[in-house]
């Protein structure tokens, strides 16, 4: 930080030469479009005609009463159960079970558990559509093979089951990430804490609540931010597996933005949905970050 | 002693293996299916293919036009990775080490890009690209992806350059090195692990990117692999061996890079998010 003084004979703006190319591309292709999305959300526009009609907050007023939008937003929030809560519980369970022991071969397990994170969500979606296929999918075939025909379903075609089915794909993607994250964090906790707790007669659950959880606060923050944002941004997976169906049962805001803007040409309204989606993501990220830093300052 | 230790560790391995298998079985099933015939695939996902048959790959590659999608993905990804890493090195160096009037405004503005989803930019971006006739070109995919990558890259490289040892740079300055020389001769070699992490992350994000390519590209021959696969599924969803082969063509390069550089992937994704 402290080398930022000028060198002799150097222009005040020398640093700008280094910034300019990168920042320019960012400003033109990312930052300006963000502002333009917000501006567009105050207009009515079909995407073709020359004149956009300024309608103030009308798009936003309509959003509040739009059952489709509310359903999509609610589905994103329900996805947090599958993307965040279940993976974090699995991760904590495993971390507290394995504790701080260094296991030979852990690198291999870590690499495997992390694998879904690097795969294209289109590949993940294609794979799970096959697994869930009612006729030749391995899930139903397996159930039939062990005589549980009654449990076979049209997983992605059923109004009640499609949502938890797509959600469980999210759990499959995220739980290994949470495990790896928490196991790494466990290495930092001093064994003394656990020994002292055991002397005081604390059981495994108490050790989890009073030692593991507070010590893993930074990792919990990372897990929360990453997985909640993933739940709120779901698009590829829904596009590939269900396209929001059957009916609107797996509709999410990301898919609603795409459909409204590019299939229905209702540009202003789609921009309003996108703006709300972005604000929600920002707000949640900032709340978690604030929570994290305030605790760091206390410590 | 070792036997007692083994007994103690065994339950841990059993549980770890169980959770690992839940992740690996679908992927192994997919890999096996890619080598099977239509009839073989009905015998269950974990039945071994009778031979290493490449027909499905050939069919996806030629009939499915994955050869074109592959070329498009390689062009877009390599340009984005090289340009983004180079530009992020410059911006990170400037923010961390150079006098930058307006830093207090510019730096937070850059970071916003790291958090926004493509949904927040895609609508005006499409109409903008359309108005300058860049839809259905590589530029429509490359430029926005560089913008997004530079946003994260700036954050990543700034935090690295801030922690770089100052003594070395001061010594170099006294020896008469310019700022440019300090960056490339002294800092760049030190930054290798940070840069390698940035390379694999940007490679992965660009290779897997979906929405941007879905919206910007209408011409089938210009599609990237993930979008190509999504449309391919629309046509051949019942042909599992063919779908599996297509999926492996999409996932193959990233799997290969992951096998070699998995430490950098994991470190980056665990560490990159901390700074988010």
Q: pLDDT digits over B218-264, tens only?
A: 999 999 999 999 999 888 878 889 999 999 999 999 999 999 998 88
- Predicted pLDDT at B260: 92
pLDDT at residue number B273 = 43
Residue B171 has pLDDT above 70, yes or no: yes
Alpha-carbon span B95 to A59, nearest angstrom: 39
CB-nearest to A103 from B12, B169, B250 is: B12
In chain B, alpha helices (H): 2-33, 55-62, 66-97, 103-115, 119-131, 138-163, 166-174, 179-181, 188-190, 192-208, 211-216, 225-236, 240-274
**Would you call B27 an interface residue with chain A, using a CB distance cutoff of 8 Å?**
yes
Of B94, B124, B240, the CB nearest to A37: B124
Give the orientation angle of helix A67-80 with respect to helix A217-233, to 10 degrees: 150
Please report the sign of the dihedral spanned by the C-alpha atoms of residue B169, residue B170, residue B175, residue B177: positive
pLDDT per residue as tens digits for the range B141-168: 999 999 999 999 999 999 888 888 777 7
DSSP-derived 3-state class of residue B48: coil
Q: How confident is the model at residue A278 (pLDDT cuts 50, 70, 90)?
A: very high
Which secondary-structure segment (H or E) carries A173?
helix A162-186
How far are the Cα atoms of A57, A91, A197, A257, B179 from residue A178, in angstroms, in the given order?
40, 5, 25, 29, 41
Confidence (pLDDT) at B274? 37
> Which residue stretches of A10-151 are H helix?
14-26, 32-40, 58-64, 67-80, 86-98, 106-114, 121-132, 138-145
Q: Answer whether A120's CB lies under 8 Å from B255's CB.
A: no
Q: Which residues in A lie closer than 8 A to residue B22 (C-beta atoms)? A: 172
In a domain, A260, yes or no: yes
- What's domain B66-226+251-274's superfamily in CATH? MetI-like (1.10.3720.10)
- H helix or E strand, kind and range, residue A1: none
A31 in a structural domain: no
Residue A39 inside a domain? The answer is: no
- CA dihedral over A256, A261, A265, A267, signed as positive or negative: positive
Cα dist from A52 to A43, A55, A256, A272, B246, whole Å:
6, 9, 21, 15, 43
Q: Is there a domain that residue A73 lies in?
A: yes
B275 vs A contacts (CB less than 8 Å): none
Other CB atoms within a 10 A radius of the CB of residue A195 amount to 10
Q: How far is A52 from chain B (nearest CA, A)?
A: 13
Q: Who wins on pLDDT, B273 or A126?
A: A126
According to DSSP, residue A84 is labeled: I
Which of A38-42, A212-216, B34-38 is predicted most confidently? A38-42
Q: What angle do CA A8, A9, A14 make, to 5 degrees?
A: 100
Find the CATH number of the domain harbouring A140. Answer: 1.10.3720.10
Q: What is the pLDDT of residue A2?
A: 44
- Comparing CB atoms, the residue among A115, A226, A232 nearest residue B273 is A226
Alpha carbon of B90: minimum distance to chain A alpha carbons (Å): 5
Asked if A111 and B262 count as a contact pair (C-beta separation under 8 A), the reply is yes
Q: Identify the closest residue of chain B to A288 by CA–CA distance.
A: B276
pLDDT digits (tens, 9 = 90+) for A197-241: 888 888 878 888 888 888 888 889 889 988 999 999 999 999 999
Q: Decide if A19 is inside a domain.
A: no
Count of CB atoms situated within 10 Å of the CB of B71:
13
Q: How far apart are CA B14 and CA A51, in angstroms?
A: 65
Is pLDDT larger for residue B69 or for residue A188?
Answer: B69
Question: Minimal Cα–Cα distance from B61 to chain A, Å?
Answer: 16
For residues B24 and A66, give the distance between their C-alpha atoms in angstroms, rounded to a whole number.
Answer: 41
Residue B7 has pLDDT above 80, yes or no: no
Give the pLDDT band of residue B48 (cuts 50, 70, 90). confident
Q: In this complex, do A126 and B247 lie within 8 Å of one another by their Cβ atoms?
A: yes
A109 touches chain B (CB under 8 A): yes
Tell whether the model's pLDDT for residue A19 goes beyond 80: yes
A114 interfaces chain B, CB cutoff of 8 Å: yes
Residue A11 Ramachandran class (φ > 0 left, ψ -120 to 50 alpha, else beta):
beta
How many other C-beta atoms are found inside a 10 Å radius of the C-beta of residue B135? 21
pLDDT of residue B50: 83
Please name the residues between 72 and 91 in chain B that touch chain A, using a CB distance below 8 Å: 87-88, 90-91
Q: What residues of chain A, 14 to 43, have a C-beta less than 8 Å from chain B?
A: 14-16, 18-19, 21-23, 25-34, 36-37, 40
Reported as a single tens digit per residue, the pLDDT across A92-142 is 988 888 777 777 888 899 899 999 999 999 999 999 999 999 888 889 888
Query: Distance from B49 to chain A by nearest Cα, in Å?
Result: 16
Residues of B in contact with A116 (CB under 8 A): 23
B114 vs A contacts (CB less than 8 Å): none
Candidate from A37-51, A69-83, A146-160, A186-200 with smallest mean pLDDT: A186-200
Residues in chain B within 8 Å Cβ distance of A131: 26, 29, 45
Residue A16: its pLDDT value, please? Answer: 86
Domain assignment present for residue A35? The answer is: no
Contact B262 A111 (CB under 8 A): yes
Contact A97 B12 (CB under 8 A): yes
Mind telling me how many Å the CA of B62 is from chain A's nearest CA?
19
User: In chain A, where do the E strands start and end?
Assistant: 43-44, 53-54
In this model, does residue B71 exceed pLDDT 80? yes
CA angle A29, A33, A34 (to 5 degrees): 120
Degrees, nearest 5: CA angle B50-B56-B57: 115
- Asked if B254 lies within 8 A of A119 by C-beta distance, the reply is yes
Q: What is the mean pLDDT of chain B?
A: 89
CA distance B29 to A59: 47
CA angle A199, A205, A206 (to 5 degrees): 50
Are the CB atoms for B56 and B245 separated by under 8 Å?
A: yes
- Candidates A115, A130, A154, A118; CA nearest to B245 is A130
CA proximity to B34, closest of B71, B61, B10, B2 = B61
Q: Give the CA distances from residue B2 to residues B6, B10, B13, in Å, rounded to whole numbers and listed in that order.
A: 6, 12, 15
Query: Is residue A43 a contact partner of residue A55, using CB atoms and an 8 Å limit?
Result: yes
Q: What is the mean pLDDT of residues B181-196?
A: 88
Is the Cβ–Cβ distance between B36 and B53 less than 8 Å? Answer: yes
Q: Domain count of chain A?
A: 1
Residue A1 reports pLDDT greater than 50:
no
Three-state DSSP class for B151? helix
Grouping H, G, I as helix, E, B as strand and the rest as coil, residue A54 is strand
Contacting residues of A for B132, CB less than 8 Å apart: none
pLDDT of residue B27: 95
What's the CA dihedral at B35, B38, B44, B50 to 10 degrees? -40
Which residues, other chains included, contact A196 with Cβ-Cβ below 8 Å and sequence gap of 6+?
none
Residue B276 has pLDDT above 50, yes or no: no
Q: Smallest CA–CA separation between B119 and chain A, in Å?
A: 6
pLDDT at A42: 96
* More confident call, B8 vs B37: B37
Among A28-37, B29-38, B220-229, which stretch is predicted with the lowest mean pLDDT? B29-38
Residues of B in Cβ contact (< 8 Å) with A136:
41-42, 238, 240
Question: CA angle, B43 as apex, B41 and B44 as ends, to 5°?
Answer: 80
> Is the confidence at residue B5, as pLDDT, over 90?
no
Task: Give yes or no for A129 touching B (CB within 8 A).
Answer: yes
Q: Which residue of B has its CA nearest to A118?
A: B204
In Å, how far is A110's CA from the nearest CA of chain B? 9
Domain extent at residue A69:
54-298
Q: What is the CB-side half-sphere exposure of residue B76 using CA atoms within 13 A?
A: 31
């Amino acid at each position: 930080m402290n080398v930022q003084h000028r060198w002799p004979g150097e222009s005040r703006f020398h640093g700008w030469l280094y910034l300019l190319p990168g920042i320019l591309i960012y400003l033109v292709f990312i930052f300006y479009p963000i502002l333009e999305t917000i501006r567009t959300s105050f207009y009515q526009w079909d995407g073709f005609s020359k004149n956009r009609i300024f309608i103030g907050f009308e798009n936003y007023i309509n959003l509040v009463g739009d059952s489709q939008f509310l359903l999509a937003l609610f589905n994103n929030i329900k996805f947090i159960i599958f993307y965040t809560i279940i993976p974090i519980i699995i991760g904590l369970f495993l971390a507290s079970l394995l504790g701080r022991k260094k296991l030979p071969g852990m690198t291999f397990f870590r690499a495997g558990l992390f694998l879904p994170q690097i795969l294209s969500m289109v590949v993940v979606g294609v794979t799970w559509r096959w697994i869930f296929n009612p006729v030749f999918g391995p899930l139903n075939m397996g159930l039939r093979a062990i005589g549980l025909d009654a449990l076979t379903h049209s997983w992605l075609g059923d109004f009640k089951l499609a949502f938890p089915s797509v959600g469980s794909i999210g759990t499959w993607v995220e739980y290994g990430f949470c495990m790896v994250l928490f196991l790494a964090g466990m290495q930092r906790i001093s064994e003394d804490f656990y020994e002292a707790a055991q002397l005081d007669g604390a059981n495994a659950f108490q050790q989890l609540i009073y030692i593991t959880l507070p010590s893993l606060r930074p990792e919990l923050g990372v897990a929360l931010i990453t997985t909640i944002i993933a739940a709120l941004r779901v698009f590829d997976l829904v596009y590939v597996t269900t396209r929001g169906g059957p009916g609107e049962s797996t509709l999410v805001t990301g898919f609603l933005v795409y459909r409204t803007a590019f299939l229905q040409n209702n540009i202003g309204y789609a921009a309003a949905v996108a703006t709300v989606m972005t604000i929600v993501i920002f707000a949640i990220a900032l709340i978690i970050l604030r929570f994290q830093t305030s605790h760091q300052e206390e410590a | 002693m070792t036997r007692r230790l083994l007994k103690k560790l065994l339950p841990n391995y059993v549980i770890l293996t169980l959770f690992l298998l839940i992740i690996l079985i679908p992927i192994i099933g997919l890999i096996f299916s890619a080598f099977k015939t239509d009839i073989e695939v009905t015998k269950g996902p974990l039945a071994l293919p009778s031979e290493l048959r490449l027909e499905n790959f050939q069919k996806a590659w030629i009939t499915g036009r994955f050869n074109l999608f592959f070329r498009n993905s390689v062009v877009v990804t390599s340009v984005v990775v090289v340009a983004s890493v180079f530009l992020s090195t410059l911006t990170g160096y400037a923010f961390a080490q150079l006098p930058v009037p307006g830093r207090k405004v510019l730096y937070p503005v850059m970071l916003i890009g790291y958090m926004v989803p493509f949904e927040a930019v895609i609508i005006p971006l499409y109409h903008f690209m359309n108005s300058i006739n860049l839809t259905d070109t590589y530029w429509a995919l490359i430029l926005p992806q560089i913008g997004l990558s530079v946003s994260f890259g700036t954050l990543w490289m700034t935090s690295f350059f801030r922690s770089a040892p100052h003594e070395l740079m001061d010594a170099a300055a006294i020896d008469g090195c310019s700022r440019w020389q300090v960056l490339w001769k002294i800092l760049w070699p030190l930054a290798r692990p940070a840069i390698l992490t940035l390379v694999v992350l940007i490679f992965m994000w660009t290779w897997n990117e979906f929405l941007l390519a879905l919206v910007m590209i209408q011409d089938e021959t210009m599609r990237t692999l993930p979008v190509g696969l999504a449309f391919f599924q629309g046509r051949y969803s019942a042909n599992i061996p063919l779908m599996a082969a297509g999926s492996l063509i999409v996932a193959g390069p990233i799997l290969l890079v992951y096998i070699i550089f998995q430490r950098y992937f994991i470190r980056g994704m665990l560490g990159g998010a901390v700074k988010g």
